[in-house]
Chains A and B, each alone.
Chain A
Amino acid sequence: GAVVSQHPSWVICKSGTSVKIECRSLDFQATTMFWYRQFPKQSLMLMATSNEGSKATYEQGVEKDKFLINHASLTLSTLTVTSAHPEDSSFYICSAPNDRGGRATQYFGPGTRLLVL
């Protein structure tokens, strides 16, 4: 149980285009989801917290107009990278917390690799 999926698993796009990444909690509801970015050989960096029914909370240094987050339902959050540039190429991972067993645990999606040409 507690499965989180992401779509697409990888995407290649031209510079200047927008890319949408979906994160779904498959067997539980999540009022909160997290979006991370990971560069090669580095740890995950929290970008923003997605809140169902309200605005996302962005970490310091993350441009909210560039990384649009929409938490449309209790099982779906989307991250849109607008006007993508090569420096946005990275591995994007979402997670959804669940209180199973009384311990708040984040369940991670498989990640989406974005390559901007």
Chain B
Amino acid sequence: KNQVEQSPQSLIILEGKNCTLQCNYTVSPFSNLRWYKQDTGRGPVSLTIMTFSENTKSNGRYTATLDADTKQSSLHITASQLSDSASYICVVTYSGTYKYIFGTGTRLKVLA
């Protein structure tokens, strides 16, 4: 079964600290993996996208990694800010299609 699982479900950290979110997937055939940030009451916004051959991608303070052999990805957030409080969703795409398989999401709360 094609699934995308994320951990932890929720996370609370202090402002300025780093954190890492995990994503495991079983989607096949794999096309690419994306991380999205979704603020409460808003649509998801793309942070990174990685294909099979890419194992790291950065976007400012966000760094995503991909291990296609173990089918695992992580999103590392450096020097967290209050505005990082949001849900982070890992999304995997089938090869040859636009259809997304969504992860369950990680709700991050950054405290002052």
Query: Footprint of B on A, CB under 8 Å?
Result: 4, 6, 32, 34, 41, 43-44, 46, 49, 91, 93, 95, 97, 103-111, 113
Tally the A-B contacts, defined by beta carbons under 8 Å. Answer: 46
Which secondary structure dominates where chain B touches chain A? strand
Q: Tell me which of B44, B49, B103, B107 has the highest count of chain A C-beta atoms within 10 A of its own C-beta.
A: B44
Instruction: Judge whether B98 and A111 touch: CB under 8 Å.
Output: no
Instruction: Judge whether B43 and A106 touch: CB under 8 Å.
Output: no
What is the minimal beta-carbon distance from A90 to any residue of chain B, in angstroms? 12
Task: State which size class the interface on B falls in.
Answer: 20 to 34
Instruction: Judge whether A110 and B42 touch: CB under 8 Å.
Output: yes
B97 contact set on A, CB distance < 8 A: 104
What is the minimal beta-carbon distance from B48 to any residue of chain A, in angstroms? 11
Find residues 59-112 in chain B having any chain A CB closer than 8 Å to their own CB: 89, 93, 97-100, 102-105, 107
Instruction: Judge whether A105 and B46 touch: CB under 8 Å.
Output: yes
Instruction: Judge whether A44 and B44 touch: CB under 8 Å.
Output: yes
A6 contact set on B, CB distance < 8 A: 43
